[in-house]
Each structure stands twice: as C-alpha cells, then as structure tokens.
A and B are shown apart, each in its own frame.
Chain A
C-alpha cells in the first residue's frame, strides 16, 4: 500500500511472460478470418495487456483505493468521449 511495498521479481517475470503470450496470441489471431471477432479479440487482448501493466508494473494493485478512483476516472472520461462521439455518428439519418 505504501512505497515500502516491494514487488518480487518473480511477479514481474510472470507478468512479462503473460504479456509476451498475449502479444503472440493477438498477432496469430489476426491471421485468422473471424469477421467482427477479429477486432473484438485484438481489443480484448489489448485491454488485458494494459491491465497487467497498470496493476503490476505501475503498482496500482498495491496502492491505496483513492488512487484507484483517479486511475479509473481517466479511462471513464475516455469512454464518455468515444461513447458520445459514436452516439452521434452511428445514429445519424442520412
């Protein structure tokens, strides 16, 4: 929870291994023809990779809850930005 938390090297190694597996998986999945699921898979894997980096490399998992609110807020506002933009564009009647 504080600066005294030292994450063991094996945790970093495991996270890195998972990141590399996910990278190979997303690259391999791109060579399959899955229609709309291609983008669903690649973005799901991207979110998983980002979560691993945020929680472990950026130590958010080990920080106080107040910080979690700030972290989530940034992405929440991004969701508003993209969500409302699409809400306009996708519902236009030409």
Chain B
C-alpha cells in the first residue's frame, strides 16, 4: 500500500479510490442538476410543441449573434478549464493559474454579454409582466417563451456565477501551492461543474436562439 499522505482521507485504501469516489459523487450531483434544469427543458418542450409558430416569432427577437458569441466564449472556457487541469497534472503551477484566470475572464465575459442582452430585452419590452409588449397575434403565448427564456438563462447565469466563484477559490488555493500532480481532485471536480454548465448552454443555444430560419 502506498504511504499515507496528508491528502488521503483515512476511509480510503489509496488515492485512486479516493479520486474515483469523489468523481462518482460529483456525477450523482450532476445527475440531480440535469433533472433540476430538466423541469424547465420539459416545460419548454411541451409549450414549443403546442405553439411552434409563436416560439419561432418570439425567438427572432433574440440576437443570434450575441447567442453565438456567448456559446463560443463558454466552449473556449471549457477548453481553458481542461488545460488548467492538464497543467496541474503535469506540475506547471504558473500555467495552471494563468488558465484559471483566463477561464474566469471568459466566464465574466459571458455574464457581461448576457447582461447586455437582458438590457436589450428590457428596453424592447420583452420582460414578462405589465410592460410586456408583443404582436397581438402571438399573445399571450409569446410571453410564455420569454418566461422560459428568462428562467432558463437566469438559472444558468446563477450557475455560471457560482462556477466563477469556485474557480476563484481554486486560484487562491493554487497560489498557496495546494495542487500537485499527485493531488488535484478538487480541480477535477470543479472542472466537471464548469463543463456541466457549458453543456446546459449547448442546449439552451439552439432551443432559444435557433428556432427556425432567419431572413
């Protein structure tokens, strides 16, 4: 048996078993997250089947350009997160910190673009409620599209914010030299969360922005 080190909790046989248990636990949590978002995706699917035309018209009020840029930003941030873990595995601490910072900046960039979009929606009276204004032919169902849009992107934005915070903690920990090629499980687990948030967006993007053709 390997020598017991300070990062190996006493209930585990070896670091490999400890790492596998953490990963398994994180995926159980991610499965609950899939279903957490799943309720909204199910609601979306039901309404889209019932009002396909309305959803198409409502979707055209969103900016495909901004949505596409944000998808690119999040996909890139997933790459930099994967490279950050790669740096930890190969023992490059400065490189690890650089990739964590880039990932955070991309996450913040995503939130800034999202904020600009929300502002645009607000100005165009697309926020559901008293001031909601839309082509009378597609009312009131058009409002449902925007209820789902704000709930889904809003819940996703909360997750991105949490992810940025988690990566910030990792940055402080790597500054203290806590991650080594032998032990960097927290990075792997946090990385899973970040990639999961990316996957949610991978589905939100076509469902909200790419509904039918644009002129």
Co-assembled chains A and B: yes
Binding site for B on A (CB under 8 A): 2-4, 6-7, 9, 12, 15-16, 19-20, 23, 26-27, 30-34, 38-39, 42-43, 45-46, 49-50, 53-54, 56-59, 63-64, 66-67, 70-71, 73-75, 77-78, 81-82, 85-86, 89-90
The answer to whether B20 touches A2 (Cβ under 8 A) is yes
A69 to chain B, nearest CB (A): 10
A1 to chain B, nearest CB (A): 9
B107 to chain A, nearest CB (A): 15
Can you give 27 A-B contacts (C-beta < 8 A)?
A: A2-B20, A4-B16, A7-B86, A20-B75, A23-B72, A23-B75, A26-B206, A26-B210, A30-B64, A34-B213, A39-B206, A50-B202, A53-B198, A56-B82, A57-B81, A58-B195, A64-B20, A70-B27, A74-B27, A74-B32, A75-B34, A78-B41, A81-B35, A82-B42, A85-B42, A86-B45, A90-B49
Q: B192: CB under 8 A from chain A?
A: yes
The answer to whether B214 touches A30 (Cβ under 8 A) is yes
Chain B interface size, under 10 / 10 to 19 / 20 to 34 / 35 or more = 35 or more
Residues of chain A contacted by B16 (CB below 8 angstroms) = 2-4
B64: which of A20, A27, A50, A85 is its contact (CB, 8 Å)? A27
Main SS at interface, chain A: helix
A86 and B45 alpha carbons, distance in the complex (Å):
8
Q: B141: CB under 8 A from chain A?
A: no
Residues of chain B contacted by A45 (CB below 8 angstroms) = 206
The answer to whether A16 touches B79 (Cβ under 8 A) is yes
The answer to whether B27 touches A6 (Cβ under 8 A) is no
- Given known A57-B79, A70-B24, contact A89–B213 (CB-CB < 8 A): no
- Given known A53-B199, A78-B38, contact A12–B82 (CB-CB < 8 A): yes
Smallest CB gap from B75: residue in A? A19
Residues of chain B contacted by A34 (CB below 8 angstroms) = 213
Main SS at interface, chain B: helix
The answer to whether B27 touches A82 (Cβ under 8 A) is no
The answer to whether A46 touches B45 (Cβ under 8 A) is no
The answer to whether A77 touches B34 (Cβ under 8 A) is yes
Residues of chain A contacted by B19 (CB below 8 angstroms) = 2-3
Residues of chain B contacted by A39 (CB below 8 angstroms) = 206, 211
Residues of chain A contacted by B63 (CB below 8 angstroms) = none
3 closest A-B pairs by CB: A74-B31, A42-B206, A30-B210
A3 and B86 alpha carbons, distance in the complex (Å):
11
The answer to whether B81 touches A73 (Cβ under 8 A) is no
